[in-house]
Amino acid sequence: MSVVGGVRRLTAPDIRARKGGAPVVGLTAYHAPGARLADEHCDFLLVGDSLGMVLYGYDTTVPVTLDMMIAHGAAVVRASRHALVVVDLPFGSYEEGPQAAFRAASRVMKETGCGAVKLEGGCHMAATVGYLVERGIPVMGHVGLTPQSINSFGSFRPRGRDDIESEAIAADGEAVVSAGAFALVVEAVPVRVAAALTRAMPVPTIGIGASVVCDGQILVAEDMLGLTPRVPKFVRRYAEVGAIASDAVARYARDVRNRAFPGVENTYAEPGFEAPEIDLPDDEPSAAAK
């Protein structure tokens, strides 16, 4: 159990125990400001490898490195006190086998202070999940649409729309949970698939594009705050922070160009010194200056 500033941080067993109880609330967090905003409202914060697309401008999550995940994970842990922090293992850091996965996961746990890791995959990852759990590393599973496999899938389309895919997802979920995962992210699947998984799994299912039938939900924070240009079907915009920020930047730029900022209240006065008057240009700034 971790206590930070008098607040008890939630753990993987706490999340597991929520099966059938109050819905589990999760959001992504990639940096300290985001973690501070979300911490008191969420049960867990996911430092997702989606940061590669949201923060770094990559087209997929594949280029994300272990060092990137550790740097962002450590910032989120430092800035939070209440929520369980889960850090994604990035593509290439765990697929080689259980020993490679343990080396990567143990680095993440040691260097970030997080409480769990998440990895994608089903039946073929069950042995790796078991290996990690047996060695003291809590694992959150992830089935359905698994973004690290985008080069195999060919697109970010939903999974499980036919019987073959839905049966494979059910088998993946059972394998990962049987191996010891404390929760299961279910991404971009039809309601019937999510409902079947939620009924069958003894641990919470965490939906993202998997409907309200799941035991909890997670979204990319920047998506629901209006900070990303593309809005997936499963996202509800709870604010348009991007528009507000753009307006603030425009007003700042205008004040700088008009020499209205900084004002007297924003400067450090020196006794006996008066700032010289500045002749303001009559014309509006040129398009190039803007």
Let me know: does 86 contact 117? Beta carbons within 8 Å.
yes
Residue in 134, 174, 187, 222 annotated catalytic: 187
187 annotated active-site = yes
The answer to whether 118 is a known ligand-binding residue is: yes
Question: Angle at CA 30, nearest 5°, toward 87 and 9?
Answer: 60
The answer to whether 246 is a known ligand-binding residue is: no
The answer to whether 88 is a known ligand-binding residue is: yes
CA distance 117 to 137: 7
Question: Angle at CA 155, nearest 5°, toward 154 and 156?
Answer: 145
DSSP label at residue 30: -
Q: 287: buried, middle or exposed (CB in 10 Å: 19+, 13-18, 0-12)?
A: exposed
DSSP output for 225-276: TT-SS---TT------HHHHHHHHHHHHHHHHHTT-SS-GGGS---TT--PP
CA distance 1 to 9: 7
The answer to whether 40 is a known ligand-binding residue is: no
The answer to whether 223 is a known ligand-binding residue is: no
Binding positions for 3-methyl-2-oxobutanoate? 49-50, 88, 118
Q: Which residues are annotated as a binding site for Mg(2+)?
A: 49, 88, 120
Active-site positions? Answer: 187
